[in-house]
Amino acid sequence: MLHARAFLASVAWTLILLFLGSVVHATESSLACPDWPTCFGTMVPEMTGGVFWEHLHRLVAGGLLLMWGLATWLAHREAGDRPWVFKASLAGVGLLLVQSIFGGLTVIYRLPDLVSTTHLALALSFLVLATVLASATGEARTTDSMGDGATGLRIWAAGTAGLVFAQSVLGALVRHMDAGMACPDAPLCLGQVVPPLVNAPITVHFFHRVLGVLVAVAVCAFAYRLYRSASTFRLRRWAPVAVALVLTQVGLGFASVLTVLAVAPVSLHSLVAASLLCVLVHVATVAEPARRPHSRPATAPIA
């Protein structure tokens, strides 16, 4: 189905957009275009310096809106037997529009912390919705099945995804509060396991690390259960992927601090977190109990 492919393309597009958004902030290009929706009064500014990253981010965001519009139209044509798919697609259009407005507000009001963090939270919310639709309409939905523990595993996957979502939003707050170097050492913070929480930047940064440890433990525990419970390789293969992503995420977090917020580790840190969120949401969507054959009722013997 074309709409399933369009949903999958939208997931990949959103991951690229999130990565570019992180690059924009890491290169201090967030206000390279001081106006919105234009850039220096035009839609085709000179693509140099910070303007290149900021305007490219805007162009990719506009492309995502067009791609999602196509996916929504295709869902309306092809998924008539499942009307919820089209309705969810329309909700995605609304999410994109609101998220775009918050992107504009971050520029107009000069990067207020809460507005900028909400901008990312909405982007992650859209990523979750796009992943659910891509997973629910793809081929995996009809092939990935498991035993009676599927319901518990789906709840675990959804709960772990919620932790990753919260960790990502808290990371965005760290970024927009310029608290990335509030703890300039790693793995300790100011030379202590628990630093003096004397101001907001140190407090937010420290709890971002604490939640990161909890996320790592939760993801590894979930991956172990997934590997033991899944009945198909198509589903079981996501267990090592999740572990690899969360360990990479932790490593990139340390690298971000030790390199004093270099562009590469900081940007990849955000991308890997979003990718991990996709994996968990995908598993929560496609894992379902194995279908049991219906047994025919016994017939009474003929006297």
pLDDT for residue 295: 45
pLDDT for residue 144: 54
Check whether domain 143-290 has CATH 3.40.120, yes or no? no
pLDDT at residue 44 is higher than 70: yes
Reported as a single tens digit per residue, the pLDDT across 116-168 is: 999 999 999 999 999 999 999 987 554 455 555 667 888 999 999 999 999 99
Residue 120 has which token pair? 């990312």
pTM of the predicted model, to two decimals? 0.92
Average pLDDT over residues 35-49: 95
pLDDT for residue 289: 60
pLDDT at residue 299 is higher than 80: no
Split at pLDDT 50, 70, 90, the class of 296 is: very low
pLDDT for residue 213: 96
